[in-house]
Amino acid sequence: MSTNKIFGLLLAVASALPATLSAQKPYEGEPVRLFTTYDAYAVPYRIPAITTTKRGHLIAVADRRYCGFDIGFGRIDLVARTSRNNGRTWSADTVIQRGSGIKGSDDCGYGDAALVADRTSRRVLCMSVTGSTPYINGTREKPNRVARWYSPDGGRSWTAAEDVTDAFYALLPHTRTMFIGSGRIMQSRVVKKDKYYRLYCSVLTRTQMGDKDVACNYVLYSDDFGQTWSVLGGTTLDGYDSPCLEGDEPKTEELPTGDVVLSSRKWYGRFFNIFHFDDLRADQERGTWGKCVASHDVPGGIKVGANSCNGEIMLIDATEAATGRAVKLMLQSLPCGEGRTNVGFWYKEIIPNGIYSPRAFAHAWTRGLQVSSTTSAYSTMTQQRDGRIAFFYEEDSKDNGYSMVYVPLTIAEITGGRYTK
């Protein structure tokens, strides 16, 4: 079947679904504040990351920002809490890595963590920004740096920080500054090489294109659980082959076919692009990116208020409540209000064997649960062993700045009862 016919079929199926609904009733349960700004440490917190280990334990990570700002302005520590009982209780906080706070040093601060737990072993990978250079000021000579840690035992202990800056910048020789999108590193359900299922992460970069300094996104992949990385679909690596020009902080997810979704932060919604493999069974590298689209320019696409903020995208298995039909459901979280307020969900049913263009993927989303009714910003999620979604996000704490909030949500709560586990 031709690509045009497939695209038409997807649009026809999507158009037959119920029209986009208004937001569900805001969440009324009690959130758990895992890290509270101006607690006993008297510092602010930012940037959520969370993952579920093979044993079903939850690991939640955040920045403890002694400097009060982003990487490049002083000391930031990476801190974690864990739960072994689906979020009912949490450990005391532990420090994955302390920043030195020394101006000009490569270990001054560590933040904006991205996290993944291997589904076949107890290993956990954490990546972060590090150093003394703010992202926007980074150069090849004084870059925004990249750090890596492993836990061999499901988050109980962590290796010393490894500075892997040179390896990452070597992948994109025309890039002057970069960082990995925080939150969730995605592990493939389809592609496996030797011991590990493939990892996908995405980066925000700045590249000089003519007389303009342009924001670009690229997707990176690793077949050895983060030891080495390659660029997915890269050719010139000079910005012109970026799957999302002018994109901001990005996230990645995988469609049931193995094709890769790029979801990137923008004003009023998201940028979406899809990498389609030519023949994934024969070649796990060869394929092409589609044409990036803005979600709010597509009929029935995600459209939110006047804000630009990062969220999370994740594919889950669900059941249609009315029919008992098993489905694949894509979730996207982000602030939905004017400014950084009203963090909540959008969702979309995914055709299991569908070949999606970016435009087809951006079409026909439904507004789901509004989790926050106040100032709220970055969010991420993971699926717990009990099937609920562990939602971890930033929410204002009585004018004290963001606290890092955990809420366990059922699929029925997120979709207003339309789908269940």
Q: Residue 151 belongs to a domain with what CATH number?
A: 2.120.10.10
CB 252 within 8 A of CB 219: yes
pLDDT at res. 13: 44
DSSP conformation letters of 45-107: EEEEEEEE-TTS-EEEEEEE-TTSSSTTSS-BEEEEEEESSTTSS-PPPEEEE-----TT-TT
Task: Give pTM, 2 decimals.
Answer: 0.94
Domain that holds residue 218: 3-420
Query: In the numeric block, which tokens belong to residue 381?
Result: 């999620």
Query: In the numeric block, which tokens belong to residue 383?
Result: 């699926």
User: Closest Cα to residue 349, out of 328, 332, 368?
Assistant: 328
Query: In the numeric block, which tokens belong to residue 303?
Result: 């459209």
Residue 101: exposure state from Cβ atoms within 10 A (0-12, 13-18, ≥19):
middle
Cα distance between residue 315 and residue 365, in whole Å: 14
The structural domain count of the chain equals: 1
Q: What is the pLDDT along the chain (421 residues), one digit of tens a residue?
A: 444 444 444 444 444 444 344 456 677 778 999 999 999 999 999 999 999 999 999 999 999 999 999 999 999 999 999 999 999 999 999 999 999 999 999 999 999 999 999 999 999 999 999 999 999 999 999 999 999 999 999 999 999 999 999 999 999 999 999 999 999 999 999 999 999 999 999 999 999 999 999 999 999 999 999 999 999 999 999 999 999 999 999 999 999 999 999 999 999 999 999 999 999 999 999 999 999 999 999 999 999 999 999 999 999 999 999 999 999 999 999 999 999 999 999 999 999 999 999 999 999 999 999 999 999 999 999 999 999 999 999 999 766 789 999 999 999 999 999 999 9
305-318 per-residue burial string, b: 16 or more CB within 10 A, e: under 16: eebebbbbbbbbeb
Cα distance between residue 169 and residue 149, in whole Å: 18
Cα distance between residue 279 and residue 284, in whole Å: 8
